[in-house]
Structure formats: C-alpha cells, structure tokens
Amino acid sequence: MNTAPRNQLLYEYFKQKLTASSKHVYSPSDLASLISELRADFGFPQSISVAKFQRSLIENGIVQEILITATYPFESKRYHLGPFSPYELALSLRSGSYLSHGTAAYLHKLTDQTHQTIYLNKEQSPKDSTTSLTQAGINRAFMSRQRESGYIVMHDRTKITLLNGKHSDRLGVIQSTGPGGEQIELTNLERTLIDIAVRPAYAGGPKAVLEAYRRAHSKTSVPRLAKMLAELEYVYPYHQAIGFYLQTAGHSLAVLKPLLRMRRRFDFFLAHAIKHTRFDPYWRIHFPDNLSDSVGVSG
C-alpha cells in the first residue's frame, strides 16, 4: 500500500483512535476491530481490505510489533503505539486473565520486591473434585516440590508466568490503575493473601508471604477473607496456613474466629518441600525453621 494523501489521512485518523483508547498493547484482532470502526466512520477505497490496511500500518511503522518469546507455541503477535507497561503486555496475552500472587502483592504494596516475573492467572474451566484427604496423602504431596508453571513469555527483561488457576468465576478480581496510570485487573487484597498462602513459591516463599500478611494487617478483613476462602472450596486445609500467617502477623484469636470454626483434622504444611521444620500445634502446621525468629509457636 502506498502513502498517498488519502492513506496518510486514514493513518492519522487511526492514530487518533489509538491515542483515545485506554489500551496501549494490541492483538491482531484488536487492530482489525479498530480498523473496522475506522472504515465505518470514514470509508475506505474498495481496493483496501481490513487485512491490507492492517499490514500497511505495520509496514509503515504506524504500530510496532512487540518482540516476545515463549516457552510454548505462541503464534499471535502484539503491537503498540508509544510506551506501554509490562502489566498491559501481560494482560493482553490471554483474554479474561488477571494479575495475581506476587505481582498483586507488589501492586497492593505488600512487598518491596518488584519481581521481574509477572504472574498472570487465567482460570481453568469448572471441574468436579472427588478427592478425599488422608494424612499420608498430605505428607506425600508436600514432601515434594510444588509444581510451577512452565508457560513463560519473555519480553526484554520481563518474564511473564502464565498460570492456569482454579476456577473461581474471577472471585475477588478488581479493576485498578497501575503504576503508570494504565488500567489493570488484579486480585483484591484478601484474594491475594489467599493466593500467596496457597502458592508461596509465586510470591517469594513463606518469609515473603509472612511479611505481606504483616503489611496487610490493618487493611485485612478476616470475615471477608474467610468467606472468600470458603467459596474457593480448596481440598487442602489452607485455612490452617492462613490462620497461622494471620496470627503471626498480629491478629488476635478473637478476630480469627471465622477461620477457627473450620475444622483442623490434619497436620498441614506452610509450603512444599520444607527441609527443616517446626510445628505449631494450635494450627497444626509445619513451618520452615528459618521463620523461628519471628514466630512464637502457639500453645
């Protein structure tokens, strides 16, 4: 496609559409949708299809491709006009996804670790669970390392880890504004505290999780957290780990009543593959020995 005055005018109109948009990262389908809107508003010569105009936008540098690599087949491309944040890039990779775990903890100011890894959660479809717990089964599962996602997208120095989280109908997901003023979706405070207790490896480990719980102390609604945890319907007794974190972070047992009502039938673990542990008999939780300096074992 040449750069005749008519085309240059269409380019300018397209740039205005992009500038007016709240998005800064676009998939091929996003571009096609915007071009269709432009075509409806201003009309195109019959010789110019949506696909042809889209190619011309890229060839003439109106939009630029974002260079990404992935550990799995990722065929689609992403484009931008002007600056964009790594959070926007991450959220563009999977429709309906949201920022979670250590990334949400950072955005809620629960950690100073910027984490060059961004955690992006795309929920699985609903599944029926018929698993029944035994102490031997719990011990066996938590003796080995926690499985971590191998689905990773790289851009520059940013690593985006794609998680296939448990179906929750996006429970606790909120819209917010990122550090650069960008529109983002992430888990709220209580959902974030649950997620990092369930998967501490995605938040820097138990020490970092405990620090996050301490920073969240004055902002945490225990009833809201307990209600959300019940709705998530985990098989494992994560309420014991969460109760342990909350009490260690300074919440009184009186405040923790919603969690105390949940049964504590098994001994549980704060994380997978802990080499040296201590045991809290109140929450029936094994925790890493390196937390001993900041943990008073309940009695």
What are the mean pLDDT values of the chain's consecutive 10-residue runs (299 residues total)? 66 88 91 88 79 91 94 91 94 96 97 85 88 94 93 94 96 96 96 98 96 98 98 97 98 97 97 95 96 61
Return the pLDDT at 8: 84
Return the number of other C-beta atoms located less than 10 Å from residue 223's C-beta. 12
DSSP-assigned states of every residue in 100-149: -HHHHHHHTTS-S---SEEEEE-PPPP--------HHHHHHHHHSPPP--
287/151 Cα distance (integer angstroms): 29
Return the pLDDT at 293: 65
Angle of the 222-232 helix axis to the 189-198 helix axis, nearest 10? 60
Enumerate the domain spans of the chain.
Answer: 5-64, 86-294
Return the pLDDT at 44: 76
Instruction: List Cβ neighbours of 136 (8 Å cut-off, separation of 6 or more).
Output: none
Give how far Cα 2 sits from Cα of 5, 38, 58, 111, Å. Answer: 9, 18, 13, 51
CATH 3.10.450 given to domain 86-294: no
